[in-house]
Structure 1
Amino acid sequence: MPSKVQKMSALLGKFRTLGQSKREKKLTQMSALLSSFSDIHQQSRQRQVANFNLFSLLQLSKNEPTQTTVLGWLLDAEGSHGQGALFLEQLVKLCGDCIPSEHFSQPYRLLSGAIAPQLRLDLILYRPGEFLVAIDNNILDREGINQAELEIIEMRQLGSAQRIPKERQIAIFLTPEGRAPRSGDPDPWHQISYPQLAAAFDSVVPQLNDLKLKHILVDWIEVVSRV
């Protein structure tokens, strides 16, 4: 028969085994918790990286001159994006394809306020004798007195001087919500919203091979979709 000392030794052994088991269980739980926290932290960091947007970081989403510059760069067939007239074609499609795409196969000119400060219109793209696209980029919902009317006059004068048929002269009033101009007759204008423009440009993103351009364009599309 086991002595009292042996019984006590056996009981203490059971306590040690039970304590060791509990410690191992706690260590396993703590290890699982730390691993879970690490995974959550990593996922959070990945979401932060995924949500990074250069235009938002620099607070340029509602900066009208900057947005005009970026838009002009995209619409310029000779822009460093290397996509030719791809973006201008997408813009004109929003106006009902009133200018056949073959007119964009040859070089055309870009005028902007930075190049010609006397312009009332924000952007003008044209090819003598072929087509003219005039854009009023109005993000901030501001119009001068008779602004829209005077811009149409400016477009017609340039179109006439460049012998461009009137039916291939189009005026685009670009706003966040796609509203009509209030400072002149809205009939000559194609009213386009920024979300419409963003969707049109987004449709060509998959065919872009240049990753840098793709990232810039995706960031730009993201911010102008909600200006």
Structure 2
Amino acid sequence: MAFFASGHEADESRIADLATEWRTLVAREQETRVTQVAAWETQLAEIRAEQEVLLREGRWVAGPDDLLTILGQSRQELHHSALLAWLLDPQGRHGFGSGFLEALLRRCTPDPPTAELNRARPALDVRKSKARADVVVAGPGLYLVIANKIDAREQPRQCDQLHESFGPEPGALFVFLSPSGRAPVTATGDAREAFKTMSYAELAGMLRDALARAPGKGATAHGREVASNYLATLEREFQ
């Protein structure tokens, strides 16, 4: 019995020691947590103070910075067609002259007409017979037809009708512009060969290159700003 009592007392003593150690560990952990929480709260207060300074100075910003995205129009074909026609206008105040038009033509044919590109003029929503072209750029020896598709489907026989209606024009060239640069599903036979594909990422690259060159004498600050802002839309939406 004395041996049993001695062993029991040893167990109780060991349990008491473990309980003391446990309470010490818990207390130490609580102190650490309190210290960490205090440090976090201090850091958070510093971050909030820095944010307040940035907010007051207008340097805490978010959201888009291109006009079409701000207006919720970044995938509207009509707006993109209008901007493309403007970029292709040699007299546009972007200051590219005929350089942007020539760059696009070189994607269509190895020997584009370049002698009188300054006389070329763009037009939107050009209709002939049953066909409607989103953008047409016409000039001496040039008749560039652009079909622009972003999210809408092609109409039945759309590209075939474009080729049939506009193909007889002197210097007729055809471009199918889309986000992926896919081939048009409504171009068959001769139209399939005539249509050159272009992606919006390629269009962005052309515009980036044009902006990197020195502006022409006809450039205005607003014109360059519009071109740069449109590039921001293309990079945000299609890259």
The alignment-based identity, stated in percent, is 22
TM-score, normalising length: structure 1 = 0.70
Verify: 1:108 aligned to 2:111, yes or no.
no
> Out of 120, 137, 144, which is 2:132 matched to?
120
After superposition, the Cα gap between the structure-2 partners of 1:183 and 1:35, relative to the gap in structure 1 and judged at 3 Å, is closer
Residue in structure 2 matched with residue 153 of structure 1 by the alignment:
164
Whether the aligned pair in 2 keeps the contact of 1:90 and 1:201 (CA below 8 Å) is no
Whether the aligned pair in 2 keeps the contact of 1:176 and 1:194 (CA below 8 Å) is yes
1:172 deviates by 0.2
Equivalent position amino acid for 1:214 in 2: R
Superposed CA deviations along residues 87-142 of structure 1, whole A, max 9, x for unmatched, are: 211212332543143241x41233321x65875111111224x1221100111241
Greater RCO (Cα-Cα under 8 Å, separation 6 or more): 2
CA distance in 2: counterparts of 1:42 and 1:78, whole angstroms: 42
* Bigger Rg, which one: 2
Verify: 1:188 aligned to 2:194, yes or no.
yes
Verify: 1:170 aligned to 2:173, yes or no.
yes
After superposition, the Cα gap between the structure-2 partners of 1:223 and 1:153, relative to the gap in structure 1 and judged at 3 Å, is same
The secondary structure found in structure 1 opposite 2:92 is coil
1:41 deviates by 2.1
CA distance in 1: counterparts of 2:47 and 2:155, whole angstroms: 61
1:147 deviates by 0.7
Whether the aligned pair in 2 keeps the contact of 1:103 and 1:131 (CA below 8 Å) is no
CA distance in 1: counterparts of 2:97 and 2:62, whole angstroms: 31
1:156 deviates by 1.3
The secondary structure found in structure 1 opposite 2:203 is helix
CA distance in 2: counterparts of 1:137 and 1:82, whole angstroms: 24
Structure 1 residue ranges (4+ consecutive) displaced by more than 4 angstroms after TM superposition: 42-45, 115-119
Verify: 1:205 aligned to 2:216, yes or no.
no
Whether the aligned pair in 1 keeps the contact of 2:77 and 2:150 (CA below 8 Å) is yes
> Out of 60, 67, 84, which is 1:54 matched to?
67
Whether the aligned pair in 1 keeps the contact of 2:93 and 2:223 (CA below 8 Å) is no
CA distance in 1: counterparts of 2:208 and 2:220, whole angstroms: 15
Whether the aligned pair in 1 keeps the contact of 2:95 and 2:224 (CA below 8 Å) is no
Give ranges in structure 2 of 5+ residues lacking alignment. Answer: 1-41
After superposition, the Cα gap between the structure-2 partners of 1:51 and 1:60, relative to the gap in structure 1 and judged at 3 Å, is closer
> Out of 69, 77, 83, which is 2:96 matched to?
83
CA distance in 1: counterparts of 2:166 and 2:70, whole angstroms: 36
TM-score, normalising length: structure 2 = 0.66
Residue in structure 1 matched with residue 106 of structure 2 by the alignment:
93
Alpha carbon RMSD of aligned pairs, Å?
Answer: 3.1
Equivalent position amino acid for 1:111 in 2: A
Residue in structure 2 matched with residue 70 of structure 1 by the alignment:
83
CA distance in 2: counterparts of 1:184 and 1:176, whole angstroms: 18
After superposition, the Cα gap between the structure-2 partners of 1:44 and 1:94, relative to the gap in structure 1 and judged at 3 Å, is farther
Count of residue correspondences = 187
CA distance in 2: counterparts of 1:216 and 1:49, whole angstroms: 21
